A and B are shown apart, each in its own frame.
Chain A
Amino acid sequence: EDQVTQSPEALRLQEGESSSLNCSYTVSGLRGLFWYRQDPGKGPEFLFTLYSAGEEKEKERLKATLTKKESFLHITAPKPEDSATYLCAVGNAGNMLTFGGGTRLMVKP
């Protein structure tokens, strides 16, 4: 059974204080690791897909990296508007996504 564990569950940062979110996974036949952002009362918003170990992708202050067992979402100099829950998911050969429980990020001005 595919499993995704995200840590920490919650993270409080001061504006400008860089940090990383972790996503550990086990999956049968990885077909992609996905990062989503979810704001309260809204659906998950797609951020990145990573397909193979060593791959990196960036978008504004976010950078996602992938190894064979985990992925990191690095947040550089975060702003209050980066506050959200960040979800990690793995896709398998059966076209199924398995999500982690998310990391709730709060950035204080």
Chain B
Amino acid sequence: DTAVSQTPKYLVTQMGNDKSIKCEQNLGHDTMYWYKQDSKKFLKIMFSYNNKELIINETVPNRFSPKSPDKAHLNLHINSLELGDSAVYFCASSQTIRAGYYEQYFGPGTRLTVT
């Protein structure tokens, strides 16, 4: 069974379109994240949700909106896509064992290409 899954694996779209990426985890974790990995391979946090509540929102354009219908799902919706949004987007999850201590488990990634 896949612990953290994402769909789709690949997404090719044109500038100006709106798209969504879905993420599901079956680990029973209480926190989920979205990361962006650019062409230089740096992973940067975008959002974090704990028990369906947004707790981290890094400097990300308003065109990006996360939605968490329940603890096991965190979706990422992107409006008015731009060329610079092309990257690999990773979903991750973790369980807060005690305050501030955690290990994050990542999904397989969604490669977004904007043309």
Contacts and interface: CB of A to CB of B under 8 A. Distances in A.
Q: Do A and B come together as binding partners?
A: yes
Most B CB contacts (10 A, CB to CB) among A32, A44, A51, A92 go to A44
Majority secondary structure of chain B interface residues (helix, strand, loop or mixed): strand
A102 B109 CA distance: 17
A96 to B, nearest CB: 6
Nearest to A104: B41
B11 to A, nearest CB: 15
B103 to A, nearest CB: 6
A97 to B, nearest CB: 6
Contacts, number: 61
A42 B100 contact: no
Q: Classify chain B's interface size.
A: 20 to 34
Contacts of B50: 95
B102 A42 contact: no
A95 B48 contact: yes
Given A43-B109, A49-B103, A93-B100, A99 B56 contact: no
Given A95-B48, A99-B44, A101-B42, 19 more contacts: A31-B100, A36-B106, A43-B90, A45-B106, A46-B105, A46-B106, A49-B103, A89-B43, A91-B100, A92-B100, A93-B100, A95-B50, A95-B55, A96-B45, A96-B56, A97-B45, A101-B40, A101-B41, A102-B41
